[in-house]
Amino acid sequence: MACALFREKLAHNMYFRHMKATFKHIAALLLLGLLTFSTQAQSEQQRAVRRTIDQFFEGYHARDTATMLAVIRPGVVVQTVGTNLEGNPFLATGSMDDLVKHVVRIPDSVQFRENLLDYQISVDGNMANAWTPYAFYLQGAFHHCGVNSFQLFHDGKAWQIIYLIDTRRREGCEE
């Protein structure tokens, strides 16, 4: 009788150990699935943010202000951080209207290109940040480098740039 009780208890313990291990595997698979889904959703949003930034620069390089403005939310703030000729740091604030006016005034004979070297994009719900180091070329020659920092908002339909700040320097650049 004791032997039968022992076998029954052993079988019972083995069953629960097996079930416990099975539940751990199921939980791990569910967690992995959620992480994979979250990563894919994040990646899709990051790609959408990148397309928004790329569209802005396509318009910028083509001097096509309509294309630029299509991804800009009204009231966007535009700032630049740099060092003036005396070596003092400065922060200049402008508007998208100022930038657009500047772009349309550039003569066709002036060739310029801002090459984005990387995209570091973070998304949290309807807000995104993109950090894009760049090298700027004027008439085919390196002119300066820096980093753009974009803040974007998703209005339920599309990503829009709501804030843009950049740095500009001539030293420590990767071309």
Residue 10 in this model has a pLDDT that exceeds 80: no
What pLDDT does 175 receive? 72
Q: Which domains does the chain have, with CATH numbers?
A: 43-167 (3.10.450.50)
Q: In one letter, which amino acid is 96?
A: M
90 vs 42 pLDDT, higher one: 90
Range 30-69 burial, b when 16+ CB lie within 10 A, else e: eeeeeeeeeeeeeeebbebbbebbebbbebbeebebebbb
State the pLDDT confidence band at 38, using cuts at 50, 70 and 90. very low
What pLDDT does 159 receive? 98
The mean pLDDT value of the chain amounts to 85
Q: pLDDT tens-digit profile of 111-162? A: 999 999 999 999 999 999 999 999 999 999 999 999 999 999 999 999 999 9
pLDDT, mean of residues 103-116: 95
Global pTM value: 0.75
What pLDDT does 174 receive? 81
pLDDT, mean of residues 82-97: 93
d(CA 175, CA 96) in angstroms, rounded, equals 27
Nearest residue to 129 via CA among 157, 153, 99, 96: 153
